[in-house]
Amino acid sequence: MSSETGQLQGDQSPAGLALYYYPTCPYAAMVVRAIEDMGLDIELRNIFADPRWRQELIEGGGRRTVPCLRIEHEDTPIEWMYESYDIIDYLKEYY
């Protein structure tokens, strides 16, 4: 992971995914490790480093809880997935 870009580098690049997190959250850290282990390239949005990500999370997902995976679908509304195990299971299933 490059802390400068907030990206996880890997062989796969799932489109339309962003993970809202903050570095000291153990549940978010677990999701970040799983993403790294899967070799995925997912945008990381640190809600403490950038206030716009925190605001977007609250407005879109309805709460400030992390981790939260923002999933953009082509033909349906944006999905906001909370709960670290649900996020990991989703990524394992689809990527």
- Which domains, from first to last, does the chain contain? 17-94 (3.40.30.10)
Phi, psi of 38 (to 5 degrees): -80, -10
- pLDDT, residue 33, reads 98
Tokens of residue 25, six digits: 């959250």
Closest CA relative to residue 29, chosen from 71, 93, 88: 88
Pairing of strands 79-82, 68-71: antiparallel
Tokens of residue 60, six digits: 């879109």
- Which pLDDT band, with edges at 50, 70 and 90, does 74 fall under? confident
Per-residue model confidence as pLDDT tens digits over 17-64: 999 999 999 999 999 999 999 999 999 999 999 999 999 999 999 999
Query: For residue 4, is pLDDT > 60?
Result: no
